[in-house]
Amino acid sequence: MQKCYLDLILPLVKCIHTMQKYSIFSLARNALTGHKNWQQAWRSPPLKDQYDVIVIGAGGHGLATAYYLAKEFGITNVAVLERGWLGGGNIARNTVTIRSNYMRDESIPFYVKSVAMYEGLTNELNFNMMHSKRTMVDVVQTYPKMRELRRRQLTMDIYGSTYEQISTEELRRRIPALTGGGPNARLPVIGGMVHTDAGVNRHDAVAWGYARGADARGVEIHQQTGVTSLIRGKDGAISGVETTRGTVLAKKVVVAVSGHTTTVTETAGLKLPLRTMNLTAFVSEPVKPLVDVIVNCPDSGFYFSQSDKGEMVIGGAPDMGQSFRRDIKQHVFEDTVTAMLSLFPAFKKLKLMRQWGGHLDIAHDASPIMSKTDVDGLFITAGWWGGYKAIPAGGLTLAHLVATGRPHPLMAAFTLDRFKHLDFVMESGTTTAR
């Protein structure tokens, strides 16, 4: 028995100890050798014919799930299959806002957990996330919205999330660039709400950190390996996947391909209550420091923050039409810019540098789905309206479900069963209201 136990843990221990430790000392040491001796961050091993678990998608949720499967449950015979490049999908197409100011009893504890995990992620993964606890300030322009946010505040207080009301004077003091929305405006500013737990970090570091941590624990990451279809056995259960590099078998498959979930699951005959939309953002030229918080304007439908490089990272409401496009429709762009300039008229001088769109597969109640499916052995993480902030908790709780077969308490309300029983988690209070 003892020998069997050692046989299980020794490969994992060996794997963990071979991961190169990043520090100021390793940086200095490698500088002396022209940075030629850095260890490869993750391997590119040969693709095997069979694994215990296959994770489709090397984005935030897929990599985090694989990492926690290995770290928390010792399941290391895992393959992460990515059709493109690691971290090149939706995790690279967001505004990196991290927050927990949600409305529902089911949502708030989940996001509180995720925000807390993000704050410790740099140390856990030994990779600099450049986490910045900026706070988020909501600029409120209508009394119905203020009542809604005050109700949210009271619910958040129960679960230890931070949210407080501030006056118009305090709001303008915190955001000096907010010069519009005066008393004679169509929608005058009437006050604000402050969410002190909110922050931003580096999306690429999140992907690379989880990839490096998963690889160190034995997980295999295979880029340029697109999944073309799911395979079901004679008993109807999942048995593997067909890829661009051949057939790969596994009794458990996780689909983590935000925006393309239905494209994959329909190959197994599975229909899901999801529709795909496009959420867009754009970035300005770098300018001097103007804003040191995340600014959210829910009545007007836009939000922004200033990056460490000085760029204004601006997001708006999604294009509500079903679409797989990755650019901005002109009317969505114009609506966002017009709303922004009404409150920040000085921004009209900004030059835009680039824009992008990301695919969202949205559930009917605007809440995520982390669940088993009707196909035995097939799991999904989908329906994320702003899934970046949920990556740590999403990966941890889904790994728990895959490993144990039981929903984690934090995700129990987000399974597919809620659509059978009409137990919807209606989350209208996302970042923008339009």
For residues 170 and 177, what is the distance between their CA atoms, to the nearest angstrom?
Answer: 13
Share of the chain above pLDDT 90, in %: 73
Q: What is the pLDDT of residues 320-355, one digit of tens each?
A: 666 666 666 777 788 889 999 999 999 999 999 988
For residues 51 and 401, what is the distance between their CA atoms, to the nearest angstrom?
Answer: 18
- Please give the pLDDT value at position 431: 45
Dihedral angle over CA of 425, 98, 340, 170, nearest 10: 100
- The low-confidence residues of the chain, meaning pLDDT below 50, are 1-17, 430-434
Residue 8 sits at φ, ψ, to 5 deg, of: -80, -40
* Structural domains of the chain sorted by starting position, each given as residue range(s) with its CATH number in brackets: 2-32+43-96+203-273+365-421 (3.50.50.60), 133-199+275-362 (3.30.9.10)
- Please give the pLDDT value at position 412: 96
Q: What is the pLDDT of residues 283-302, one digit of tens each?
A: 999 999 999 999 999 999 99
SS3 362: strand
For residues 206 and 121, what is the distance between their CA atoms, to the nearest angstrom?
Answer: 8
For residues 290 and 307, what is the distance between their CA atoms, to the nearest angstrom?
Answer: 10
* Closest to 391 in 3D by CA, of 161, 3, 173, 90: 90
Model pTM above 0.85: yes
Neighbours of 403 (CB within 10 A): 16
CA 325 to chain centre: 19
Q: Which two tokens stand for residue 245?
A: 């590099």
DSSP 371: E
